[in-house]
């Protein structure tokens, strides 16, 4: 018996179902429905299943991770769908005769495909070979893909229509998602980090981001900006995540750690600890990008990426609404926003078919890239002069200092050589020792001057030049003015 306790759909969910019906009526058999994280995808899927069951159709719902099986079953049952079987290893609900099957993609890849009239593929951007093999052997079956990021290369070879049910900006403005504020306090030097499979090489990236000064800056910035809010930190690899966890704990901040090998019970325990405030930070390695409904109010991006999909998934973990939550604070230590823009501006109107783009074709961006406020590191929208966070409005600077009645030659800015940088660095080392500055002061001051960390510099002191002394004095004056403001 089919029992369904239907909840009222939100406007974007109703629009999504309408778009899906229109697509199928036009003859499409493999549409992809794009909905941002937090758009109520499970409720929408439950309604699609209900409509299919009203026509006595068999439905398979495919998830990309074993950890999502029980979560999905519980969600469907809460929506009144009870005639469910599970295809996942030796799960106690295994029963292939049930008309609704919740399937692990890994299990059906080994055991074969259940009899279905409709297959709903969750997180379809993952592009599992088993999904496409299922499409090939069962061409009469309808497939519907669900994802927040339908931008994987080659998706258009298998899926035949892209339906945008709602954009992230629409849901933020409607109050269904949290707004966000971005600060970019660090700018890692990724020069020399090669690209592998479309993203930064993980080994080289781990070496760069594991730099002690960068790790310390993550914690210092969190203490200054996050106000103790529950936080997810995205690291490059396990060693990097462990190093970040250790640094937080040394600063007196309770921190957890999760990677792909963390047991389900331990994950749930960490979730409960974060919810109760026993820990404030969870450092993870790319495994909390989907299926996480935690109350997260700060996202730390310590993982640079070229992937729009990974970028949106990481930020999306912090955009769910919660009681008392005004906005999500995003601390970008990776230059991802400078590289990819705001997540709300990333948009593609077509599926990628894997073909090389023609001249003039490229990213469909509604806005140019955002800019960082030079005073407070707030990442402000493009073309906005006055910083919405601190009110600072930069004025056009000029290197021309004319004397009355004379024309002055406009000279190009001098480009610092490695010798210039070494001399500056050596002078800073001398000042650090003389004035008893903290460890890391030299690296941060060098970065303020040149915009990169002091890689390749020799730890040799030298008498500081007038330029070094003036720069340090100017830095101290700016700091004193901020303190007195």
Residue-by-residue DSSP string for 45-93:
HHHHHHHHHHTT--EEEEESSGGGHHHHHHHHHHTT---EEEESTT-TT
- Residues 47-59 as b/e (b if ≥16 CB within 10 A, e otherwise) read bbbbebbeeeebb
Q: What is the mean pLDDT of residues 304-313?
A: 95
Better-predicted residue by pLDDT, 364 or 38 = 38
pLDDT of residue 484 exceeding 70, the answer is no
The CA–CA distances, whole Å, from 343 to 181, 196, 309, 337, 465 equal 12, 23, 10, 8, 44
Contact, 295 vs 267, CB < 8 A?
Answer: no
Better-predicted residue by pLDDT, 36 or 287 = 36
In this prediction, residue 414 has a pLDDT band, given cuts at 50, 70 and 90, of low
Ranges 217-221, 287-291, 391-395: which has the least confidence: 287-291
- Among 308, 318, 315, smallest CA distance to 332 is for 315
- Say what the pLDDT of residue 422 is: 86
- Say what the pLDDT of residue 13 is: 96
Best mean pLDDT range from 309-323, 388-402, 453-467 = 309-323
DSSP 8-state secondary structure symbol assigned to residue 155: G
Q: How are beta strands 199-200 and 195-196 bridged, if at all? A: antiparallel
H helices of 320-417, in order, are 336-340
Question: Any idea how long the chain is?
Answer: 485
- Say what the pLDDT of residue 413 is: 44
Give the Cα separation of 480 and 477 in Å (integer).
5
Give the Cα separation of 303 and 257 in Å (integer).
15
Element (H, E) at 315: helix 308-316
Compute the mean pLDDT over every residue in the chain, rounded to the nearest whole number: 88
- Say what the pLDDT of residue 452 is: 84
- All domains in the chain, ordered by first residue: 11-171 (3.40.50.300), 178-354+364-380 (3.40.50.300), 418-484 (no CATH)
Crossing angle of helices 212-225 and 441-450, rounded to 10°: 90
From the DSSP assignment, how many helices (H) and strands (E) are in the chain?
A: 15, 17
Residue 366 structure tokens: 């509604």
In this prediction, residue 415 has a pLDDT band, given cuts at 50, 70 and 90, of low
Q: How are beta strands 371-372 and 379-380 bridged, if at all? A: antiparallel
Please write the tens of the pLDDT for every residue from 311-356: 999 999 999 999 999 999 999 999 999 999 999 999 898 999 888 7
Percent of the chain exceeding pLDDT 70 equals 91
pLDDT of residue 61 exceeding 90, the answer is yes
Q: Give the pTM.
A: 0.77
Residue 320's φ and ψ, nearest 5 degrees, are: -70, 145
- Residues 155-171 as b/e (b if ≥16 CB within 10 A, e otherwise) read bbebbbbbbbbbbbbbb
Please write the tens of the pLDDT for every residue from 69-127: 998 999 999 999 999 999 998 899 999 999 999 999 999 999 999 999 999 999 999 99
Percent of the chain exceeding pLDDT 90 equals 65
Contact, 217 vs 185, CB < 8 A?
Answer: yes
Contact, 299 vs 184, CB < 8 A?
Answer: no
In 168-297, where do the E strands start and end?
A: 179-183, 195-196, 199-200, 231-234, 255-258, 281-284
Give the Cα separation of 321 and 294 in Å (integer).
10
- Say what the pLDDT of residue 8 is: 85
**CA neighbours closer than 13 Å in the CB half-sphere of residue 235:** 29
- Say what the pLDDT of residue 398 is: 42
- Say what the pLDDT of residue 28 is: 97
């Amino acid at each position: 018996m089919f029992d369904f306790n239907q909840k009222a759909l939100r406007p974007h969910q109703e629009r999504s179902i309408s778009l899906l019906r229109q697509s199928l009526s036009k003859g499409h058999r493999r549409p992809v429905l794009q909905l941002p994280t937090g758009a109520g995808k499970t409720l929408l899927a439950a309604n699609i299943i209900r409509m299919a069951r009203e026509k006595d159709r068999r439905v398979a719902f495919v998830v990309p991770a074993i950890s999502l099986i029980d979560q999905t079953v519980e969600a469907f049952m809460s929506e009144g769908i009870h005639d469910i079987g599970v295809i996942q290893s030796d799960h106690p609900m295994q029963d292939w005769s049930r008309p609704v099957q919740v399937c692990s993609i890994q299990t059906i890849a080994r055991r074969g495909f259940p009899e279905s009239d409709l297959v709903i593929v969750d997180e379809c951007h993952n592009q599992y070979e088993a999904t496409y093999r299922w499409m090939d052997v069962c061409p009469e079956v309808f497939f519907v893909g669900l994802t927040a990021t339908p931008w994987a290369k080659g998706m258009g070879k298998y899926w035949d229509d892209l339906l945008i049910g709602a954009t992230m900006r629409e849901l933020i403005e409607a109050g269904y998602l949290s707004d966000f504020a971005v600060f970019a306090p660090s700018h890692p030097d990724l020069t020399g980090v090669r690209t592998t499979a479309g993203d930064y090489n993980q080994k080289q990236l781990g070496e760069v981001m594991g730099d002690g000064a960068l790790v310390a800056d993550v914690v210092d910035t969190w203490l200054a900006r996050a106000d103790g809010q529950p936080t997810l930190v995205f690291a490059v690899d396990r060693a990097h995540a462990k190093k970040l966890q250790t640094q937080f704990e040394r600063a007196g901040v309770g921190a957890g750690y999760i990677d792909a090998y963390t047991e389900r019970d331990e994950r749930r325990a960490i979730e409960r600890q974060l919810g109760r405030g026993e820990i404030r930070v969870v450092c993870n390695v790319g495994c909390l990008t989907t299926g996480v409904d935690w109350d997260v109010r700060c996202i730390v991006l310590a993982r640079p990426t070229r992937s729009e999909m990974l970028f949106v998934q990481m930020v999306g973990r912090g955009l769910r609404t919660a009681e008392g939550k005004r906005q999500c604070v995003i601390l970008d230590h990776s230059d991802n926003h400078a590289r990819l823009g705001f997540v709300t501006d990333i948009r593609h109107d077509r599926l990628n078919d894997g073909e090389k783009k023609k001249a003039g074709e490229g990213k469909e961006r509604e806005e140019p890239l955002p800019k960082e406020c030079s005073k407070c590191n707030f990442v402000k929208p493009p073309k906005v002069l006055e910083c919405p966070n601190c009110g600072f409005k930069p004025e056009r600077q000029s290197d021309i200092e004319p004397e009355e009645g004379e024309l002055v030659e406009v000279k190009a800015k001098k480009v610092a050589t490695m010798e210039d940088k070494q001399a500056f660095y050596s002078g800073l080392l001398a000042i650090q020792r003389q004035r008893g500055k903290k460890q890391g002061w030299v690296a941060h001051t060098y970065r303020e001057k040149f915009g990169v960390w002091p890689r390749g510099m020799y730890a040799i002191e030298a008498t500081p030049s007038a330029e070094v002394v003036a720069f340090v004095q100017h830095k101290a004056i700016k700091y004193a003015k901020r303190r007195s403001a």
